[in-house]
Amino acid sequence: MKNIKTEKRIFLKPGRNNKEERLNFVKFWAEYVRTHSDKEWSRQQNVIINSQINKSILQK
Amino acid sequence: MEYNAEKREILTDKELSNLDNLVLNFVKILEKYADYVIISGYVSILLGRTRITEDVDLFIKKISFNEFSKLYGELKNGGFWCINADKVKEVFSFLEDGLAVRFARIGESVPNFEIKFPKRDVDKETFNDFVIVKLGEEKLKISSLERQIAFKRYFLGSYKDEEDALHIEKTFKDKIDYNEIERLKKIIKNNKKNEKYQN
């Protein structure tokens, strides 16, 4: 089982529309980045980035 | 991430993504021939924003055709192709005309690296106040956080750009120079007005 290190619990404020929801998420995530280790937030961020950009592109 | 605004340095031990490694590969070749600064969306991603991008934008300081030819040759040997043209003269002429040219991995079109010579004075200033991001042994030069916020918010202005600006603002909230953002905002708005009249 992965040991997920959480330095600080933070919560996302729900938005009243799509724009507000997105902006609230950006604020939530920026706070997450500020309060968690680089390894922790980048591990999560890389799930998104590496799913779109395959490692094989580096070997061309 | 630790940002030392005086030293203009960000230290991070983040896990490098495939995109980060691709950028480092490209920049290792580029910086042999031209001074560069990474601008726009990838900067926000490098600093933690949870999105992807199809391109990485860079300003390069103006270089001669001779130097560009060497850069072009090494990029080709290093596994990149120019998606705008094949002949080096033609590619360089685009840059000289103030246009951007894009390089991608051979056989791919995205993600790509969009390079251009800075045109406006405010763009040339990017080379005076860049920030170095240290990723362990590796490093990348990015435009200042204030410049990122101002250009995203007052020049580009899409939802995505607003979100990128907000991410940087909130992530480095105690260390942002708001006077500098105001200064850039005025320049950007003036430039926009003047360019509108010229077109």
pTM of the model: 0.94
User: With 0-12 CB in 10 A as exposed, 13-18 as middle and 19+ as buried, what is A16?
Assistant: exposed
Of B18, B79, B171, nearest to A49 by CB-CB distance is B18
Residue B198 scores a pLDDT above 70: no
Best probe of the A interface among B1, B10, B15, by most A CBs < 10 A, is B15
Q: In chain B, which residues have their Cβ closer than 8 Å to the Cβ of A49?
A: 17-19, 45, 52
Give the model confidence (pLDDT) of B33-58 as tens digits: 999 999 989 999 999 999 999 999 99
Of A39, A45, A58, nearest to B48 by CB-CB distance is A45
| Residue with the larger pLDDT of the pair B171 and A4 | B171
Give the model confidence (pLDDT) of A3-50 as tens digits: 445 567 889 999 999 999 999 999 999 999 999 999 999 999 999 999
Chains A, B: CB pairs < 8 Å: 88
Q: Which band of pLDDT confidence, cut at 50, 70 and 90, is reported for residue A1?
A: very low
Q: Encode B45-59 in three state secondary structure.
A: HHCCCCCCCCEEEEE
Q: In chain A, which residues have their Cβ closer than 8 Å to the Cβ of B167?
A: 26, 29-30
| B181 contacts B155 by C-beta, under 8 angstroms | no
ipTM of the complex: 0.92
Least Cα distance to A34 among B102, B45, B171 occurs for: B171
Distances (CA, A) of A53 to A34, A40, B20, B137, B153: 25, 20, 10, 23, 27
